[in-house]
Amino acid sequence: MTTAQLFALTPGEPAGIGPDLCLLLARAAQPHPLVAIASRELLSERAALLGLRIDLLAAAPGNWPSQPAPAGSLYVWDTPLQAKVRPGQLDSSNAAYVLQTLTRAGQGCLDGDFAGMITAPVHKGVINEAGIAFSGHTEFLAELTHTEQVVMMLATRGLRVALVTTHLPLKDVAAAITAERLARVARILHADLVQKFGIAQPRILVCGLNPHAGEGGHLGREEIEVIEPTLELLRGEGLNLIGPLPADTLFTPKHLDQCDAVLAMYHDQGLPVLKYKGFGAAVNVTLGLPIIRTSVDHGTALDLAGSGQIDCGSLQVALETAYQMAASRR
């Protein structure tokens, strides 16, 4: 056993469903050692609330597990809370706790202790209420790892969708799609498909920005002036890029059956299709980092915390994706 087979799991917002997901997942054995970076007290209390008998096993630097935990047990790197947690009730006092779990996981990946990290959802608002500037996992990990540019990609079985722009108002999207940005995102997508997914020559379908991909300039000139010249430049570097294609016909079996990923221009161009295909069984992957990070595709679901009425399917897919990426990594 090497440390490259060990993975970190962060439960995210303690008042949300993240702790529940970790405990439900622990009912079955995982193929690799998995360490939850969390409050042992929190997990113990949540297990009691859910009526689960989960054996919480100690793990820490210098005492990493060498084998997967048996079914019904979970390795925990105890990370103390700042305040008592009540399911469904946010408390900004625990914002520092959430960030400490992420720091421990991310730094552990950088140090080679963990082969990758898998994250349950955080609540951005309550962290900001604590006076901590925080815009999300992606940006936090980019800063931690000193990464200038990252790319959001969501994936489910049979479909991967990466985004040129992410959380922007629609009125700002066209201006944000510059040749420089498009080239940077496409290069990161191509490189990580090769290096972290083991795809030797990835085939990437690229969406146009406008309806009908601009229809020869009659419905917008972004394709002619920005997208097409950039794609041609990148093809000269060896990237296999097909497009720009109209998004309404790109997302059909005729095209998708022959590609490894889709590059969409904006959030609601690509992600509705992916979530329709795989909601509850999709994973968010941060590309461009020097570490492997996957996440669930849903939020904290505060109203369901402690209820037992949740599905851990997305977390299981996030784990499986991290395992596959670590095995494929070059």
Q: Which residues define the annotated binding site for substrate?
A: 137-138, 275, 284, 293
Instruction: Tell me the C-alpha distance between 95 and 105, whole Å.
Output: 16
Question: Is 24 in contact with 44 (CB distance < 8 Å)?
Answer: no
Q: Closest Cα to residue 55, out of 29, 32, 81, 86?
A: 29
Instruction: Tell me the C-alpha distance between 17 and 88, whole Å.
Output: 9
Residue stretches of the annotated binding site for a divalent metal cation: 167, 212, 267
Q: How far is CA 10 from CA 47, 65, 102, 177, 309, in A?
A: 16, 17, 7, 33, 20
Does a cis peptide bond (omega within 30 degrees of 0) precede residue 65?
A: no
One-letter amino acid at 268 equals D
Instruction: Tell me the C-alpha distance between 77 and 69, whole Å.
Output: 13
Q: Annotate 31-78 with DSSP letters as a single string.
A: SS-EEEEE-HHHHHHHHHHHT---EEEE-BTTB--SSPPPTTEEEEEE
H or E segment at 197?
none
Residue stretches of the annotated binding site: 137-138, 167, 212, 267, 275, 284, 293
